[in-house]
Amino acid sequence: MYSDPKDCLYCTNNETLEKLMIPIAHLRVSRAFLFKEQTYTGRCLVAYDEHVNDLNELSEEQRNLFMADVTDVTRAMQKLFHPDKINYGAFSDKLSHLHFHLAPKYEGGPDFGGTFRMNPEQVYLTEAEYAEMVNALRAELKIQN
């Protein structure tokens, strides 16, 4: 099922996207975001620049660049937040825009040993705390503000 780019939160940068995430940076072929809901401390998302449905639609070069972006973000998350594991989710049942959810998991923390919840709506931070996380991620990714 392909969604229309006109209805895609990643293509239109609409209000839903703004409510859910904070932009971190534009990378090689994608954009990185910090989730506002922080049950999984440091949770991010990487969305491919173009409106493609699946990883298998990319050329080898595009795929490698996208996965390099995902890897860069997870390395920054690992260094800054020290999770025991990072879960990767590429769910696109209703929104066919290639993106990866990156959910850090901590032993003894929420859902460790199981599947992360999409939006538990339990942990929200102050604007200053979000800014601190975003700035730390940008610094680690070597992104100029």
| pLDDT digit string, tens, across residues 58-105 | 999 999 999 999 999 999 999 999 999 999 999 877 778 999 999 999
SS3 percent helix, strand, coil of the chain, rounded to 5, is 35, 20, 45
Which pLDDT does position 144 carry in this prediction? Answer: 64
Whether 110 and 39 have beta carbons less than 8 Å apart is answered as: yes
Domain residue ranges in the chain: 5-140
Residues 6+ apart with CB under 8 A from 95: 3, 8, 9, 10
Q: Both tokens of residue 21?
A: 């995430």
CATH superfamily for domain 5-140: HIT-like (3.30.428.10)
Which pLDDT does position 20 carry in this prediction? Answer: 96
Q: pLDDT confidence of 1, banded at 50, 70, 90?
A: low
